[in-house]
Structure 1
Amino acid sequence: MKNLKTILIFVIATIIISCSKDDTSTAPPVITPPSSNLAISSINPTSGPKNTTIFLTGVDFVQMLSAIS
């Protein structure tokens, strides 16, 4: 019976701690909007099945893939 009480207290304490409203996560990165010079000149292929990889050709694209969400 004593073990049951100990386990019950541990479970309740864990639930209370895990439901805390303190959020220690970091804020999402700030992404600057593209410049007004952004332009797409072509999209290839123009059609295809689901999950087809497409290629965009244009100017003023972001060079770092990590900046694309």
Structure 2
Amino acid sequence: MDWCVGLQITSFYCNRFFGRDYELAGSVILHAGDDYLVIRKPNGEVVSTWFEEASLEYVQSLVENWTE
């Protein structure tokens, strides 16, 4: 899923996929797999999330919404 690596997130909470963190705007996607994303937050912290039983189309739609 290299299609989203390097994209900047504009959503401040990303549908809570990264927990109760509300400071995600400005994060950059570092790595993406079939069922997970790794991002670097503006403060330098690297965090990840996974998408249990999600289709690629679903993940793509989430990322598209988060990076608009």
TM-score, normalised via structure 1 length: 0.19
Higher Cα Rg, which structure: 1
Considering Cα pairs closer than 8 Å and 6+ residues apart, tell me whether 1 or 2 has the greater RCO. 2
TM-score, normalised via structure 2 length: 0.19
The answer to which structure has the higher strand fraction is 2
